Structure 1
Amino acid sequence: MKDNQKKAWLFLAPAIVCVTVFSIWPILRAFTMSFEGGPLIDLHFNGFSNYQYIFSDPEFWRAIMNTAIYSFLAVPIALVISVALAWFIFSKIKHTAFFETMFFMPYVTSTIAIGIVFRYIFNGEYGLLNFLLKLVHLPQPDWLDNPSLSLVSLIIFGVWSSLAFNIVILMGALRNIEPNYYVLADMYGATSKEKFWRITVPQLVPTLAFLLTVNLIGAFKIYTQVYALFNGQAGVGNSAMTAVYYIYNKFQIVGTPGVAMAATVVLFLFILFVTFLQRKLMKKVNS
């Protein structure tokens, strides 16, 4: 038995080393750096000064607010659209493999490349979106250069970007639902609406809980979409500033790594708290 344990630890050693070096150590180092000031090559202990700075910085609170608004709007909207599209493909279309491949392509495409395409779509002068709005005689706003619309544009981009992963996962979950449930429902004369709400949705709850957790964590860490959509900026007047972009700006542009790491710790605790609440809520829903 002891020999087996030694062999097990031996096989686990490479994975443990990688997790420690690339996951645990950076978290611990970020925590210690949050109490240090000065440039990266000459850090020194300065107590809680970095935390006092970010908590009194209006830009930090704007970043947190934008991140929260984006997360709590983009994630539910994307999940609802994903469930509707996945159910439509699963129930109405015979050859689903082609559509699954088409929906999954954006997931394996560079976010920067997609962001460039969306910059043309959202362009106020010659963008495709405003062209379509003009055809139906609706106002054509300046999506990227209007500070009040920066977050709206980011949410639209984020919803579209998350559909690919969600739909593929939901299609797999739909295939795992026992077909006899639908056969029995047809025998008793259940409508399509009743089958969807009484059979499909309850069976999808574990998958939806997984997607909600993954998407929320990803939404709180949004950075690449901002960088790609606004061409390396955080919108006009930092109107689309998010928490991770704030961290990047303080670390890479301003050159205050201690402040950036303090914001990182706060964001980590915030994500941990929201994930804990979400898991508790989903447990109640499952029960």
Structure 2
Amino acid sequence: MIKKGYNPENQKKAWVFLAPTLVLIFIFSVYPLFRSFYMSFQKGFLLNQHFAGFANYIQIFQDPVFIHSIVNTALFAITVVPISLMIALFISWAIFEKVKFKTLFETIFFMPYVTSIIAIGMVFRYFFNKSYGLVNFFLGLIGIPAVNWLDSVSMSMTTLIIFGIWNGLAFNIIILLSGFRNINHEYYTIADMYGATNWEKFRRITLPQLMPTISFLLTVNFIGAFKVYTEVFALFGGQAGIANSAVTGVFYVYNKFYVQNQSGTAMAASVVLFLIIIISTLIQSKIVRRKRL
């Protein structure tokens, strides 16, 4: 008789240790998801609701503010994520290859990641102020007139995108630097023996070796971009820009739930946003997987 080998997945004791974490995940992640889906078919106040069918979904798709919020969220995601990742890739490569005191620069670039976004948003409000902001001051030095970054319908999303790009650099740089360290330097030694240029080494060695890291960052950043809220709140002082010009999906949900007390409408919008995030993430993952193959 052959004795069955040890398999940690078959150990009942493992479930005892996993139980506290699984309970917390169910309470704070799984249950709210199903609860939101259930509430999306309800009308009325939070403590006095009644079934309303698809009325909430019909309402949000007829609401131009919701459509505008989805468009803004998609615009934010497709611009901030690739631009921030490309800039972070260049900076991390420069730090890894050209800078001597790597640890010091890693600390400097990581500091914004552990700083409150609200605090950073207040600083950026000062930078983008039309009257005394540093951005307009430097633009004035080269003859460009002052731009109304914060109080203009046409410039709200541009300001938010710039803030989002800067805010995403710290995390991307740290993760990419970890990816650079995991590349075997023997590849570069062999490439140097054959006289490969820096661009050839980057294109044929560095970039393919970094693809798992880049794929991870794309997935995480896209999900984070579709859930953007704090940046809007901080940059525009608790509002979504002038005339909701910078309203995003999560900001729309927050406003409907906490400000207008329309919990059913808010949950319907959150379900739609959740489906958009899932579909976008799957499409992005398939595209990256094909590029890697």
| Shorter-chain TM band | over 0.9
Instruction: Indicate which of 152, 163, 167 corresponds to 1:161.
Output: 167
Counterpart of 2:105 in structure 1 is: 99
Alignment pair present for 1:269 and 2:275 = yes
Counterpart of 2:145 in structure 1 is: 139
Separation of aligned partners in 2, 1:141 and 1:19: 46
Instruction: Indicate which of 250, 253, 264 corresponds to 1:258.
Output: 264
Alignment pair present for 1:121 and 2:127 = yes
Letter in 2 for 1:217: I
Aligned residues: 287
Between 1:276-285 and 1:161-170, the stretch displaced more is 276-285
Aligned with 1:89: secondary structure? helix
Instruction: Indicate which of 34, 39, 55 corresponds to 2:61.
Output: 55
Cα displacement (A) at 1:186: 1.1
Letter in 2 for 1:179: H
The equivalences for 1:183-202 within 5 A come to 183-202=189-208
Counterpart of 1:242 in structure 2 is: 248
Separation of aligned partners in 2, 1:147 and 1:236: 6
Alignment pair present for 1:65 and 2:65 = no
Counterpart of 1:8 in structure 2 is: 14
Alignment pair present for 1:224 and 2:230 = yes
Counterpart of 1:182 in structure 2 is: 188
Letter in 2 for 1:283: R
Instruction: Indicate which of 202, 211, 214 corresponds to 2:217.
Output: 211
> Deviations along 1:167-212, whole A, 9 cap, x unmatched?
0000000011000111111111111111111111111111000000
Counterpart of 1:281 in structure 2 is: 287
Structure 2 runs not aligned, ≥5 long: 1-5
Aligned with 1:134: secondary structure? helix
Letter in 1 for 2:230: T
> Deviations along 1:81-107, whole A, 9 cap, x unmatched?
000000011110011000000000000
Separation of aligned partners in 1, 2:236 and 2:96: 36
**4+ residue segments displaced more than 2 Å:** 1-6
Separation of aligned partners in 2, 1:132 and 1:200: 36
Aligned with 2:88: secondary structure? helix
Between 1:71-80 and 1:190-199, the stretch displaced more is 190-199
Instruction: Indicate which of 50, 65, 78 corresponds to 2:84.
Output: 78
Overall identity of the aligned pairs, in % = 56
Cα displacement (A) at 1:119: 0.1
Separation of aligned partners in 2, 1:67 and 1:191: 40
Cα displacement (A) at 1:2: 11
Aligned with 1:43: secondary structure? strand
Separation of aligned partners in 2, 1:82 and 1:120: 24
Letter in 1 for 2:24: C
TM-score normalised by L of structure 1:
0.98
Cα displacement (A) at 1:6: 2.3
Separation of aligned partners in 2, 1:268 and 1:284: 25
Between 1:183-192 and 1:241-250, the stretch displaced more is 183-192
Aligned with 1:79: secondary structure? helix
- The root-mean-square deviation of aligned C-alpha atoms, in Å, is 1.3
Separation of aligned partners in 2, 1:8 and 1:90: 41
Cα displacement (A) at 1:136: 1.2
Cα displacement (A) at 1:16: 1.0
Alignment pair present for 1:31 and 2:37 = yes
Separation of aligned partners in 1, 2:229 and 2:23: 28
Letter in 2 for 1:221: K
Letter in 1 for 2:16: L
